[in-house]
Amino acid sequence: MRLAKKWLTLTCCSFFCATPVLADANDDQDPWEGFNRAIFAFNETVDTYALKPITQGYQYVTPDPVEGLVSNFFDNLGEVRNVVNDLLQLEGKQALNDSGRFVVNSTVGMLGLLDVASEFGLEKNYEDFGLTLGHWHVPQGNYLVLPFFGPQTVRSTVGLIPDSQLNPVNHIEDVPTRNGLMLMNVIDTRSGLLKAEDLIVGDKYTFIRNTYLQNRAFLLTSEQPEDDF
């Protein structure tokens, strides 16, 4: 079992944990539904014929402990993004926690392959620039589905740009190595969501939209949704 199980659950929830009572409110946040559904259909096609089969092959040949090491490695790289956004939100205590996680896991945890920091009581956190904008009361804007990136809002889409600069992988000069790690990160993320697909009920587009918006609200306010995953 991977040490980052708690974070995997949160990631799965962001895509596959619905709250039907929020459906009407989320309809109001999706005035671009026609466009979004077209991009959603495109992403589904790419996933069905390319990404999902590759990910299933990866899971078939990769032992679970190794999958856990891969997930931990990429989670550890994400601590750089977390720390910067903690500081931008003036969350000094959280920044110290996340900095400690990065240092401990990058050293004792063998470049992040092991999540030793959690065993030391340094809890896993998630922050991104979209959440930082929300912290400073920038409106989230309409729901938006991007090619390949999937569900977003206008605010989180803006946040993708600075967050990408905080990803150490993007600064690797060797192109084959950089591209290989980026692909591995995508496959690892998709791998963590395969089992969660069984939770989808009803219209898949509406289901994912509602759960994405619900989870972003939870990440921003830390208020548990009514339908607890």
Structural domain span for residue 61: 5-219
Give the total number of structural domains in the chain: 1
Asked whether the beta carbons of 207 and 20 are under 8 A apart, the reply is no
Whether residue 131 is contained in a domain is answered as yes
Q: pLDDT tens-digit profile of 172-229?
A: 999 999 999 999 999 999 998 998 888 898 999 999 999 999 999 999 987 544 443 3
| Residue 227: inside a domain | no
The average pLDDT across 148-170 equals 97
Q: Above pLDDT 70, what percent of the chain?
A: 86
d(CA 133, CA 11): 20
Query: Which pLDDT value is given to residue 221?
Result: 87
The average pLDDT across 19-41 equals: 79
What is d(CA 222, CA 4) in angstroms, rounded to the nearest whole number? 19
* Residue 158: inside a domain: yes
Three-state DSSP class for residue 73: helix
| Cα 17 to Cα 72, 205, 218, distances in angstroms | 23, 13, 12
The arithmetic mean of pLDDT across residues 120-145, rounded, is 96
- Give yes or no for residue 18 having a pLDDT over 90: no
Residue 226 lies in a domain: no
Whether residue 159 lies inside any domain: the answer is yes
**What is Dmax (Cα atoms) for the chain?**
49
Query: Which H or E run includes 146?
Result: strand 143-146
> pTM of the prediction?
0.84
Residue 89 forms part of a structural domain = yes
Whether 224 is covered by a domain: the verdict is: no
- Please indicate, yes or no, if residue 229 is contained in any of the structural domains: no
- What's the confidence (pLDDT) of residue 95? 98
